[in-house]
């Protein structure tokens, strides 16, 4: 097989990213290019990126960047409290359509062998690229409207665009088996054209940093971490409820909440209502080293997601030498053996496992050691190998 | 002339139910699970009985009737016999029938299928005594051959068994202890007077126990005829071929659909076609053959995993913490004199609990995962430690009660 030329239709790349989508696209594209795949990565707007392993193209859709900063939060905001501001997702839908209108020149210029589109915002453009080039299209699914909104008022138009993309695509690549199930059951897609591609992580990039939250630790507190967007999808209310049970048995526990989102106020109110305020710290959104520091300070990372297509933070915890308790309703739980697992709704079990981890020291010792070994093997290179198999089937 | 010595381990643990921190201090029935999972001990025992014990016992009884030369040995754990008596008494009866033929030897082991020898000698001796009493009571037999849990063996254990008058002890015929020697001879443990050592031929044993239905194996399918011819190949170059395996090999680990019972049915016939092959029990083997040489085993050898050491039970931090937690409270538990409390403590010594906490899955393939009724080794550890903490609370409650009342003047 001669190496195929791949047109990747993306929405964002780091550092201009709002969440996991950009990180995942970057990790995958880099690993694929290291295996000799020629990638042209298309973004909707011109941004200043220092990337040399693949060619970048910008469709120049001329939309207000500010408004498009955070499409993940947007659909959930829409679903939750700002339902009246319907121009918000409207803007995204418009952006996705303009993106599709402007991709023609790029397709013509490169004449790709494969079109590889990432999430719904790029599917209209992916469909157009497929039609113009007559080449197969891959729909990579990092999240769906149903996960993003936790099933709460999903945007019908977004759902329809998503569905159209999945129907037209020759192959559909969700990031977990949990999402594969949603795609077959809720989008009616033939399971035979779906292949799960788990995300990877470059765990070697993580450095051990000077300890944080030492004053609490010196007072004998154990630290339990919630880190992620504070939205319905991430299950913050289950975290708070489990915390209230934990504190009855282990009063010297500090619950650290890192992240922001539309349920932050609700979460804080719940904390207060249950009388847990003294044992909760809200750090806001953290990036980079600060984020690694809070991971490393924690005795346990808890990811109680209601619906989590993948859940890269669980692997980030492991890379930071921190044990993880993760929701079984996540893609990552299908591959991450050396973690504690729980159904997000089972707060008693969640609390029981948090307490066990704080009480029985050996548990953390083994989870740390084994999960660190494990994440070293969950690399983007392995994910890229699976994607390569799909490319080979298509060309 | 060469002999075949068959010994089957018959054991099912009492698995700990999902026991949460909230149960500590409230619920002392650690082993009573009524769920549909494999933590339900009754359910598992009934399944294993149907798939394995009942059909295998039927076949062995036929074989013993048909071939007067046929011999075999069982080692039953006490926890298994207790469960048989409680949940499937008809299976216990069918074992009795086999033993009543007089050609089925019963071996000695610890009642609780524990690793106590390496942690608490007097506790180990108590468990061996308890087991002896039970075997006497159920089968009217006094065992003369010792085998330790998981075939865990070293020089000290051999010396102990020698002192207590056993005629033989069993161990894994591992290359690490044999060097260039063959497992197919009778040996003598170093520094012992009368006892002899029988070593498992792991290659031939595992051909049946692990590889029988493995279709990628170059020797698949394994017929009784082929297997008997392999054994016969040792004729003249070996005294006794020791085939040691779990009894659940028949029907549970290797399935009926893959022909394991056909294999079993034909096995004695194919063996006895060779006129200079016969069957012996472990006792007969050591009576019949002199020891060829000494065997020195300073560190512990078991029959598990590629390492053949205790690492499958005590290799990681959670296993180490669980086992030390249990043996640390031993004296206090025994001091209470509370029979139920002591029994529960002993049930927590069963080696399987620690095996379920093994995190070596990736290196040793699926064996650990297949036999694990818990979702993960960590879940096994959490239930175990919570139960162990409940034991500690029960001990404390005793100590409060037993404290001599001060004279209130």
pLDDT tens digit sequence for A334-362: 999 999 999 999 999 999 999 999 999 99
Within this chain, do residues A120 and A236 fall inside the same structural domain, yes or no? no
What the block records as the tokens of A140 is: 């990579």
What is the total count of domains within chain A?
2
Residues A217 and A342 in one domain: yes
Which pLDDT belongs to residue A76?
38
Per residue in A238-282, pLDDT tens? 999 999 999 999 999 999 999 999 999 999 999 999 999 999 999
Confidence tier at A288 by pLDDT (50, 70, 90): confident
Question: Is residue B300 a part of any domain in this protein?
Answer: no
Residue range of the domain that includes B383 = 311-402
Residues of A in contact with B22 (CB under 8 A): 348, 352
> Is there a contact between B385 and A356 if contact means CB atoms under 8 Å apart?
yes
The H or E element containing residue B162 is helix B155-163
Question: Beta-carbon neighbour count of residue B296 at 10 Å?
Answer: 12
Q: Is residue B108 part of a domain?
A: yes
Tokens (6 digits) for A185 = 């059951």
Count Cα atoms within 13 angstroms, Cβ side, for A326: 30
| Same domain, yes or no: B249 and B391 | no
Quick one: B33 and B166 in the same domain? yes
The helix/strand/coil state of A10 is coil
Indicate if B321 and B246 belong to the same structural domain.
no
Q: Which positions in chain B touch A349 (Cβ < 8 Å)?
A: 20
CA distances from B366 to A339, A341, B359, B378 (A): 18, 20, 11, 17
Q: What pLDDT is attached to residue B264?
A: 98
- Which of B270, B295, B320 delimits the end of a domain? B295
Residues of B forming the active site: 150
A77 plus A16 within the same structural domain: yes
Distances (CA, A) of A360 to A367, A368, B386: 12, 13, 9
DSSP secondary structure letters along B312-345: HHHSSHHHHHHHHHHHHTHHHHHHH--HHHHHHH
Q: Please state, rounded to an integer, the average pLDDT across all residues of chain A.
A: 90
Q: Which domain holds residue A35?
A: 5-200+379-394
Mapped onto helix, strand or coil, the DSSP state of residue A61 is coil
Mark which of B268, B295, B322 sits at the end of a domain.
B295
Does residue A296 share a domain with residue A160? no
**Distance of alpha carbon B370 from alpha carbon B25, whole angstroms:** 32
Give yes or no: residues A349 and A226 share one domain: yes
Residue range B13-33, pLDDT digits in tens: 999 999 999 999 999 999 999
Distance CA B357, CA B318 (A): 7
- Judgement on whether residues B204 and B264 belong to the same structural domain of the protein: yes
Interface-testing mutation among A326, A334, A362, with chain B (most B C-beta atoms within 10 A) = A362
H/E element, A371: helix A361-377
- Is there a domain that residue B306 lies in? no
Query: pTM here?
Result: 0.91
pLDDT-based confidence at residue B272 (cuts at 50, 70, 90): very high
Chain B nearest-CA distance from A316, in A, is 20
Same domain for B393 and B261: no
SS3 letters for A105-142?
A: HHHHHHCCCEEEEECHHHHHHHHHHHHHHCCCEEEEEC
Residues A142 and A20 in one domain: yes
Same domain, A37 and A182: yes
For residues A231 and A84, membership in a common domain is answered with no
Separation between Cα atoms, residue B167 and residue A108, nearest integer Å: 87
Task: Write out pLDDT tens, residues B162-192.
Answer: 999 999 999 999 999 999 999 999 999 999 9
B286 lies in the same domain as B161: yes
**Domain containing B65 — which CATH number?**
3.20.110.20
Number of separate domains in chain B: 2
Token pair belonging to B296? 């020195």
Instruction: Report the DSSP beta bridge partners of residue A326.
Output: A303, A341
Q: What is the CATH number of the domain that holds A288?
A: 3.40.50.2000
Residue B30 located in a structural domain: yes
Q: Are B360 and B315 in contact (CB under 8 A)?
A: yes
- Quick: pLDDT tens for A51-107: 999 999 999 887 655 554 444 344 433 333 333 333 446 788 889 999 999 999 999
Same-domain pairing of A167 and A267: no
Q: Is residue B407 part of a domain?
A: no
- Chain A interface test: which of B311, B369, B375, B378 (most A C-beta within 10 Å): B378
Q: Do B361 and A337 touch (CB under 8 A)?
A: yes
Q: Which residue of A has its CA nearest to B316?
A: A366
User: Where does residue B266 rank: exposed (0-12), middle (13-18), buried (19+ CB within 10 A)?
Assistant: middle
Q: Is residue B266 part of a domain?
A: yes
């Amino acid at each position: 097989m001669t190496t195929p030329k791949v047109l990747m239709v993306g929405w964002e790349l780091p550092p201009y990213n709002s969440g996991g989508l950009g990180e995942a696209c970057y990790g995958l594209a880099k690993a694929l290019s290291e295996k000799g795949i020629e990638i042209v990565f298309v973004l909707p707007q011109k941004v200043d990126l220092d990337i040399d392993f693949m060619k970048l193209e910008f469709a120049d859709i001329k939309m207000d960047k500010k408004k498009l900063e955070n499409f993940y939060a947007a659909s959930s905001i829409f679903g939750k409290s700002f339902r009246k501001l319907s121009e918000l997702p409207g803007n995204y839908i418009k952006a996705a359509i303009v993106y599709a209108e402007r991709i023609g020149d790029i397709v013509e210029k490169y004449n790709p062998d494969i079109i590889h589109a990432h999430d719904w915002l790029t599917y209209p453009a992916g469909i157009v690229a497929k039609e113009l080039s007559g080449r197969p299209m891959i729909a990579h699914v990092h999240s769906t409207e149903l996960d993003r909104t936790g099933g709460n008022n999903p945007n019908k138009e977004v759902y329809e665009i998503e569905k159209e993309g999945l129907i037209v695509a020759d192959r559909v690549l969700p990031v977990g088996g949990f999402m594969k199930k949603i795609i077959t059951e809720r989008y009616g897609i033939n399971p035979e054209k779906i292949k799960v591609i788990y995300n990877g992580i470059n765990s070697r990039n993580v450095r051990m940093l000077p300890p944080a939250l030492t004053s609490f630790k010196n007072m004998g507190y154990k630290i339990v971490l919630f880190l992620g967007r504070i939205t319905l999808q991430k299950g913050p209310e289950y975290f708070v409820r489990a915390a209230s049970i934990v504190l009855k048995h282990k009063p010297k526990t500090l619950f650290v909440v890192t992240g922001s989102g539309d349920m932050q106020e609700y979460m804080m109110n719940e904390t207060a209502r249950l009388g847990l305020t003294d044992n909760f710290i809200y750090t806001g959104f953290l990036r980079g080293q600060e984020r690694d520091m809070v991971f490393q300070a924690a005795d346990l990372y808890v990811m109680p997601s209601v619906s989590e297509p993948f859940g890269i933070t669980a692997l980030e915890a492991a890379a930071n030498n921190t044990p993880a308790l993760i929701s079984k309703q996540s893609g990552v739980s299908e591959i991450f053996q050396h973690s504690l697992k729980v159904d997000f709704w089972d707060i008693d079990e969640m609390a029981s496992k948090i307490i066990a981890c704080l009480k029985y020291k050996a548990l953390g010792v083994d989870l740390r050691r084994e999960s660190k070994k494990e994440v070293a093997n969950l690399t983007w290179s392995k994910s890229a190998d699976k994607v390569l198999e799909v490319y080979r089937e298509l060309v | 002339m060469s002999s075949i010595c068959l010994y089957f381990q018959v054991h099912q643990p009492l698995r700990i139910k999902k026991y949460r921190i909230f149960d500590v201090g409230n619920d002392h029935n650690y082993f009573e699970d009524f769920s549909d999972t494999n933590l339900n001990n009754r359910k598992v025992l009934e399944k294993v009985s149907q798939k394995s014990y009942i059909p295998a016992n039927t076949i062995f009884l036929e074989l013993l009737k048909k071939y007067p030369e046929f011999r075999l040995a069982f080692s039953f754990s006490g926890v298994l016999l207790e469960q048989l008596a409680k949940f499937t008494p008809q299976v216990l009866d069918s074992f009795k029938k086999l033993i009543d033929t007089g050609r089925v030897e019963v071996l000695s082991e610890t009642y609780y299928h524990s690793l106590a020898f390496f942690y608490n000698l007097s506790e180990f001796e108590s468990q061996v005594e308890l087991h002896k009493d039970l075997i006497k009571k159920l089968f009217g037999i006094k065992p003369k051959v010792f085998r330790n849990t998981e075939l865990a063996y070293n020089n000290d254990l051999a010396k102990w068994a020698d002192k207590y008058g056993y005629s033989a002890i069993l161990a894994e015929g591992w290359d690490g202890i044999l060097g260039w020697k063959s497992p197919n001879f009778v040996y003598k443990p170093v520094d012992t007077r009368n006892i002899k050592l029988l070593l498992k031929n792991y290659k031939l044993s595992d051909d049946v126990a692990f590889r029988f239905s493995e279709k990628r194996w170059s020797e698949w399918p394994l017929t009784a005829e082929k297997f008997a011819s392999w054994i016969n190949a040792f004729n003249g170059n070996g005294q006794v071929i020791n085939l040691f395996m779990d009894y659940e090999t028949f029907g549970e680990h290797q399935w009926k659909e893959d022909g394991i019972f056909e294999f079993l049915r034909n096995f004695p016939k194919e063996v006895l076609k060779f006129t200079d092959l016969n069957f012996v029990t472990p006792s007969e083997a050591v009576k019949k053959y002199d020891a060829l040489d000494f065997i020195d085993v300073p560190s512990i050898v078991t029959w598990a995993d590629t390492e053949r050491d205790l690492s499958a039970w005590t290799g990681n931090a959670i296993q180490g913490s669980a086992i030390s937690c249990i043996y640390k409270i031993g004296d206090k538990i025994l001091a209470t004199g509370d029979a139920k409390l002591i029994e529960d403590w002993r049930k927590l010594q069963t080696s399987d609990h620690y095996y379920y906490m093994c995190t070596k899955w990736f290196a040793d393939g699926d064996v650990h995962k297949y036999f694990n009724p818990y979702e993960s080794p960590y879940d096994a550890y959490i239930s175990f430690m919570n139960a162990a903490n409940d034991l500690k609370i029960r001990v404390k409650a005793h100590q409060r009660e037993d404290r001599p009342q001060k004279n209130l003047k």
